Amino acid sequence: MDATKYVETIELADFGAEAPRRRSPAGDAATPTVPGTVAAHPLPATLSAAVNTSSILSFVDGVPPEQQADVIYSVQFAIRAASAKFDRFAKPRDWYNLFAQVLETVGWTAEQFAFAQSDQSQGEFRMDQAALAVITSIATGNQLAVLKSSIDALGKLADGSGAITIFDYHSSTDLAGNFQLGSVELGQNGTLSMAFGGFYFKTNDHRKNFLFFHWGKQEVDFWTAAEKMSFNVALYGTVRDKVKARLGAAATSYVDEIPLTS
């Protein structure tokens, strides 16, 4: 199946339909309103970082606005396609296999994620720090710096902010979680690359703001995978309009900028 037919026919998750059957990360009963969203809005002309459903994406200076949008929409398309087929919390391995397949079909060089369980023998740890340590091995200095700044900025936002609302809902449930980190850079040869990490966890105690919580070694099982991806802009250009059309006008309601201090 060619990329165009694939994009036209693959099922996408309707996250709004989850409201009646999921509880929010805070433990409150679900309501009929669409959870984990902000009002739909145009993407900013330029972005340094943003939450995009369950992912935190950051951009090194120099990535053109159109390609920033391509990254946002292609990653969201893969997230929603994988979520339509598999429960992202109950079957994370299957979810990531399909997620990678979708990314590859629309233009990313993505392989199957090779997950390893994080070693927590040293006791207390924070997921943001453990996740960054995994990405360190594949990221450039600039990619790592902007990703670290993005996560630090997210941690300083108020609980009711759009970015926190979106990320908490889409990346965690009562006793499990599934989230992604990506940092994008435009190389000197014009190639767009992304240092990308996929992560999932299971815990015996629900915690809000799980990314920054100090977990004990007996409280959580944490699996990590990371890979370097490159983007075929020409291939994505053949499906760009169809990806945006399939996501619909509400696509940006799952996206919120993370403001970085200069």
Using CA atoms, how far residue 112 sits from 85, 131, 178, 204, 228, in Å, is 17, 18, 16, 28, 12
Burial degree of 244 (CB within 10 A; 0-12, 13-18, 19+): middle
- Considering the chain, what percentage of its residues have pLDDT values greater than 70? 91
Q: Sorting pLDDT into bands at 50, 70 and 90, what band is 111?
A: confident
pLDDT tens, 89-109?
Answer: 999 999 999 999 999 999 999
The token duo for 255 is 């996206």
Asked whether residue 186 carries a pLDDT value surpassing 90, the answer given is yes
Q: What is the pLDDT of residues 38-81, one digit of tens each?
A: 999 999 988 999 999 999 999 999 999 999 999 999 999 999 99
Whole-structure pTM value: 0.92
